[in-house]
Homo-oligomer: A and B are copies of this chain.
Amino acid sequence: MPNNSPIGVFDSGVGGLTVAREIMRQMPSESIVYFGDTARVPYGSKSQNTVITYSKQIVKFLNTKHVKAIVVACNTATAFALETLQKESDIPVIGVIKPGAKAALKATKNGRIGVIGTEGMIRTDIYTKYLSHINQNVQVFPKSCPLFVPLVEEGLLYDSVTVEIAERYFSELKGYDIDTLILGCTHYPLIRHTLQKVIGEKVSLVNPAYETAKSLKAVLSTKDLICDQDIPTHQFFVSDGAEKFKAFANTILPCDVVETDDVNIEQY
């Protein structure tokens, strides 16, 4: 696989763009092929088998773009499908959970870690399993926050309604004396300022998007896959609603998204 091949990044929708953004920031020369499964979003309410089937189709599609590595920029897809994808793939496949969990273990001083995410993601209990597996002394406090994704997608990033909803979701978490909080959904970095205000300045927020980009850089470096070009070429694909996706992507990415193409993902 040539070094200047692109990195494949996929998510159930637009959330994974926060991961793509971190990759662009940390590795500005790397090209990205992004796929958002906007026709079948959300993954959080779907069964493991369904999410595995969907993820395999997307990997098949990304491989047609000759990607040199794949980032599963979706917490649910990482929880449900990462192992299968890694087993079946010849190129590196990286998820968002391990990097986030490792950073949380580094950040915590009192061993009390909160995790927030969608209902489906929290139900998998993946962060708790992974954190306790590495360090049996940490205590994990998971909390599902189903309204954050629709609030982000409605653009209410600093809105009083988002503050009010965050206060309700965090009221219980605040009683647990956590000092670290994992943003276990790729949409949440977009409201991290609001969340930080509500949870308090003493709690460290862990952004798995940032940590995943760091891990990816390390993996590419180890495998000698870092690109040697200067100007990257990014491509964006979705399974439905290309125009809406493009508009959203342009509000959060550091580059201009000129074109987004529709893909019939069920053919893969």
Q: Which residues on A are within 8 Å of B, measured CB to CB? A: 38-41, 45-47, 50, 146-147, 149-151, 153-154, 160-161, 164-165, 240-241, 244
Contacts and interface: CB of A to CB of B under 8 A. Distances in A.
Contacts of A40: 40
A147 B150 CA distance: 6
A45 B50 contact: no
B147 A154 contact: yes
A149 B164 CA distance: 18
A172 to B, nearest CB: 15
Copies of this chain present in the complex amount to 2
B161 A150 contact: no
Contacts of A154: 146-147
A241 B38 contact: no
Nearest to A168: B161
8 contacts: A39-B47, A41-B45, A45-B240, A47-B240, A50-B240, A146-B150, A146-B153, A150-B150
Contacts of A164: 160-161
A37 to B, nearest CB: 11
A241 B45 contact: yes
Contacts of A146: 150, 153-154
A45 B38 CA distance: 8
Given A40-B40, A45-B244, 16 more contacts: A38-B45, A39-B45, A39-B46, A45-B241, A46-B240, A47-B240, A50-B240, A146-B154, A147-B151, A147-B154, A149-B150, A150-B150, A160-B164, A161-B161, A161-B164, A161-B165
A39 to B, nearest CB: 5
A2 to B, nearest CB: 35
A46 B266 CA distance: 13
A154 B150 CA distance: 12
Contacts of A38: 45
A248 to B, nearest CB: 11
A244 B39 CA distance: 22
Residue of A45, A165, A244 ringed by the most chain B CB atoms within 10 A: A45
A47 B153 CA distance: 19
Contacts of A50: 39, 240
Contacts of A45: 38-39, 41, 240-241, 244
Contacts of A153: 146
